[in-house]
Amino acid sequence: MPAELELAIHARQWGALPESGGLLDQPFGLLDRMSASLNAYNALVSEQSRGDLTLTEWSKRNPGAWRILARVEKLRRQRENNGET
């Protein structure tokens, strides 16, 4: 599990930020990375729990989550094409 996703899940669960202080006391970019990770995780969980809905039906009901999953897939393919693991 990516560190930022783990931090985001813990922050949501415990209602606390990773570092002491307020929002502006967090390391630069950390909250953005946490949010992006959590958004991707939530989109994937939503898609995986779509039940009897086809992917097309689910994507029409969840256009934001669909855009996130499409972007993640595009990034994954770019990474594969560049020979990264």
Nearby residues of 3 by Cβ (< 8 Å), 6 or more positions away: none
Question: Positive or negative, the Cα torsion across 5, 34, 29, 70?
Answer: positive
Q: What is the mean pLDDT of the chain?
A: 94
- Position 85 scores a pLDDT of 62
- Position 4 scores a pLDDT of 96
- Position 84 scores a pLDDT of 72
Task: Record the pTM.
Answer: 0.84
Nearby residues of 66 by Cβ (< 8 Å), 6 or more positions away: 43, 58, 59
Q: Cα 22–12–85 angle (5° rounding)?
A: 100
Task: Pick out the chain residues at pLDDT < 70.
Answer: 85
